[in-house]
Amino acid sequence: MMKIKTIVVDDELLGRERITGLLSRHPEIQIVAECENGLEAVSRINQEKPDLVFLDVQMPEMDGFTALSHVQIEPMPVVIFVTAHDKFALKAFEVHALDYLMKPFDRDRFENALKRALGELEKRQSGVLSRQLSSLLADYKPEKKAVDRLTVKLDGRIIFIKVEDIDWVEAADNYVTLHLGAEKHMMRETMGSLEMKLPEDKFVRISRSAIVNMETIREMQPLFHGDYTVILKDGTKLTLSRNQRDKLQKILGKVG
For 149-252, CATH gives 2.40.50.1020
**What pLDDT digit, counting tens, does each position of 109-145 carry?**
999 999 988 888 876 655 566 666 767 766 665 555 6
Whether residue 33 contacts residue 7, with contact meaning beta carbons closer than 8 Å, is answered with: yes
**Fold type of domain 4-139:** Rossmann fold (3.40.50)
pTM: 0.54
Residue 209: phi and psi, rounded to 5, are: -115, 10
| DSSP code of residue 223 | -
Specify the pLDDT at position 151: 87
- Determine the Cα–Cα distance for residues 57 and 67; give it in Å rounded to an integer: 9
State which H helix or E strand residue 134 sits in: helix 126-139
**What pLDDT digit, counting tens, does each position of 207-227 carry?**
888 999 999 999 888 877 667
- Determine the Cα–Cα distance for residues 191 and 207; give it in Å rounded to an integer: 10
| DSSP code of residue 77 | P
b/e map 182-200, b = 16+ CB within 10 Å: eeebebebbbbbbbbebee
Among 227, 200, 224, which Cα is nearest to 211's? 200
**What pLDDT digit, counting tens, does each position of 168-180 carry?**
999 887 789 999 9
**What pLDDT digit, counting tens, does each position of 41-79 carry?**
999 999 999 999 999 988 877 888 888 888 888 888 888
- Determine the Cα–Cα distance for residues 241 and 208; give it in Å rounded to an integer: 8
For β-strands 52-56 and 29-35, DSSP reports them as unpaired
Residue 89 predicted with pLDDT over 70: no
The domain ranges of the chain are 4-139, 149-252
- Determine the Cα–Cα distance for residues 20 and 126; give it in Å rounded to an integer: 25
Whether residue 126 contacts residue 74, with contact meaning beta carbons closer than 8 Å, is answered with: yes
Counting residues of the chain whose pLDDT is more than 70, the rounded percentage is 79
- Determine the Cα–Cα distance for residues 141 and 159; give it in Å rounded to an integer: 32
Whether residue 170 contacts residue 213, with contact meaning beta carbons closer than 8 Å, is answered with: no
| Lowest pLDDT segment from 59-73, 178-192, 241-255 | 241-255
Specify the pLDDT at position 142: 57
- Determine the Cα–Cα distance for residues 230 and 56; give it in Å rounded to an integer: 37
